[in-house]
């Protein structure tokens, strides 16, 4: 009996495998094209949190944890009218601040963080928000996200990449990282995104997440990055889907 011959693979399947094998999501040309399209779509990205000083931005960013920027922007104008300076916040007991920020959620912890940060800034930094990552991280309630927001948006210092929920989701969809913690994602992005783009890139992804790349049912048909994105949860696609490219 003659041996059974294996069926030859179709040319289409062979091409598909070859394409997948050659694909490198971190190819500098691909990253550059992503940045180019983000620049064209969001040419002047700005922090969405309303603020008039480094201190106001620090407070707003602390309050934005697990809360929308829209809600924070409703709370802070009243808050900063009531307590105009960092010294005013430093004099408060956290409990006195709680009613003013209750609608932002987790208000007890946030009140402790804001008052604690104010006291440290007054006592250790002469009433001025510090301008280094190490010093900012010494403030109660301030982790790398908040520090990066303040350094980048107020001082124009690119010491890292802001990783909020939008940056987390979209950078994974775009396969710029496979990590699943903000800290690791930030380190991954710092390796592939040019330093001079760190500040704008984060803001651009945040705006992109608000306008098109939603957590549920992203508007892929209108997305300028559509044919560069192989995300598993795309709602419409002209390119191959990668099952591991997901938020």
Q: Per-residue pLDDT averaged across 229-241, rounded?
A: 97
| Segment 187-201, tens digit of pLDDT | 999 999 999 999 999
Do both 109 and 172 map to the same domain? Answer: no
* pLDDT bucket at 6, cuts 50 / 70 / 90: very low
Residue 165 lies in a domain: yes
Q: Per-residue pLDDT averaged across 36-49, rounded?
A: 96
Do both 167 and 143 map to the same domain? Answer: no
CATH code of the domain containing 203: 1.10.1670.10
Q: Per-residue pLDDT averaged across 242-246, rounded?
A: 95
* pLDDT bucket at 1, cuts 50 / 70 / 90: very low
98 neighbors 58 (Cβ within 8 angstroms): no
Residue 240 lies in a domain: no
188 neighbors 203 (Cβ within 8 angstroms): no
* Residue 8: pLDDT over 70: no
185 neighbors 168 (Cβ within 8 angstroms): yes
CATH code of the domain containing 85: 1.10.340.30
Structural domains in the chain (count): 2
Residue 10 lies in a domain: no
| Segment 80-109, tens digit of pLDDT | 999 999 999 999 999 999 999 999 999 999
Residue 166 lies in a domain: yes
240 neighbors 74 (Cβ within 8 angstroms): no
Do both 145 and 171 map to the same domain? Answer: no
Residue 6 lies in a domain: no
Q: Which residue range(s) make up the domain with 101?
A: 54-154
Residues 6+ apart with CB under 8 A from 29: none
CA separation for the pair 213, 111 (Å, rounded): 32
Residue 149 lies in a domain: yes
Do both 135 and 191 map to the same domain? Answer: no
Reported as type and span, the H/E element at residue 64 is: none
Q: Per-residue pLDDT averaged across 145-166, rounded?
A: 97
Do both 144 and 214 map to the same domain? Answer: no
Do both 115 and 175 map to the same domain? Answer: no
pTM above 0.85, yes or no: yes
| Segment 109-142, tens digit of pLDDT | 999 999 999 999 999 999 999 999 999 999 999 9
Would you state the pLDDT for residue 9?
45
Neighbours of 69 (CB within 10 A): 18
Would you state the pLDDT for residue 20?
52
* Residue 33: pLDDT over 80: yes
Whole-number Cα distances in Å, 200 to 38, 125, 186: 9, 28, 14
Would you state the pLDDT for residue 21?
58
* pLDDT bucket at 22, cuts 50 / 70 / 90: confident
Do both 172 and 135 map to the same domain? Answer: no
Residue 205 lies in a domain: yes
Report the alpha-carbon angle 71-73-79, nearest 5.
Answer: 105
Would you state the pLDDT for residue 2?
45
CA separation for the pair 121, 237 (Å, rounded): 50
Neighbours of 12 (CB within 10 A): 8
Do both 111 and 184 map to the same domain? Answer: no
Catalytic residues: 145, 164
């Amino acid at each position: 009996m003659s041996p059974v011959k294996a069926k030859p693979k179709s040319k289409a399947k062979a091409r598909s495998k070859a394409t997948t094998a050659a694909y490198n999501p971190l190819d500098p040309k691909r990253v550059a094209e992503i940045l180019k399209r983000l620049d064209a779509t969001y040419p002047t990205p700005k922090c969405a949190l309303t603020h008039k000083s480094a201190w106001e931005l620090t407070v707003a960013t602390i309050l934005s944890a697990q809360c929308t920027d829209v809600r924070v922007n409703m709370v802070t104008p009243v808050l900063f009218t009531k307590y105009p300076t960092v010294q005013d916040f430093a004099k408060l007991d956290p409990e006195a601040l709680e009613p003013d920020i209750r609608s932002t959620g987790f208000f007890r912890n946030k009140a402790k963080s804001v008052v604690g940060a104010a006291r440290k800034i007054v006592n250790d930094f002469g009433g001025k928000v510090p301008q280094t990552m190490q010093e900012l991280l010494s403030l109660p309630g301030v982790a790398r996200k908040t520090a990066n927001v303040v350094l980048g948006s107020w001082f124009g210092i690119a010491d890292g990449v802001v990783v909020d929920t939008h940056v987390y989701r979209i950078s994974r969809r775009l396969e710029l990282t496979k990590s699943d913690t903000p800290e690791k994602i930030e380190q991954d992005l710092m390796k592939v995104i040019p330093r001079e783009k760190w500040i704008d890139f984060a803001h651009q992804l945040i705006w992109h997440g608000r306008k098109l790349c939603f957590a549920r049912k992203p508007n892929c048909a209108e997305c300028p990055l559509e044919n560069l994105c192989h995300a598993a949860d795309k709602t419409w696609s002209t390119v191959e889907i990668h099952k591991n490219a997901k938020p």
